[in-house]
Amino acid sequence: MTEVVAALLWQGDRFLICQRPAHKSRGLLWEFVGGKVEVGETKQEALIRECQEELGVMISVEEVYLEVIHPYPDLTIHLTLFQGTILQGTPQRLEHQDLRWITRAEIPQYPFCPADQVILEKLMADGKEES
């Protein structure tokens, strides 16, 4: 099983989503910023590194929002999504096709990676509770 981490980064009532590059597996689908945990790294260290590599920002890693195990045809991932805050920098498109800040209401407009579906459902449910 592949350990993967991702960040739920907020700006007011919007959160950051990233579009995968066309040449990668699940190309052009949307996802949360993050990536694989390397050997010898904690999940938090991996997420800080991925945000620096992919967005050029320094983040603080906060509590776990949700954990998901999802089988893809080529691998099974254990995805840990952390709440995070950008401490320094503005997200840049260093690896992704596109970046967007979206509201919960805009989630259905974007085709996301299948592993993220459970997370998106929770985000939309949590949004209903708050309104």
Task: Give the pLDDT of the chain (131 residues) as one tens digit per residue.
Answer: 999 999 999 999 999 999 999 999 899 999 999 999 999 999 999 999 999 999 999 999 999 999 999 999 989 999 999 999 999 999 999 999 999 999 999 999 999 999 999 999 999 999 887 66
Query: Which of 34, 27, 26, 16 has the alpha carbon at shortest distance from 123?
Result: 16
- CB–CB of 47/4 below 8 Å? no
Q: How far apart are CA 58 and CA 82, in angstroms?
A: 14
pTM: 0.94
- CB–CB of 99/14 below 8 Å? no
Q: Encode 68-81: b = buried (16+ Cβ within 10 Å), e = exposed.
A: bebeeeeeebbbbb
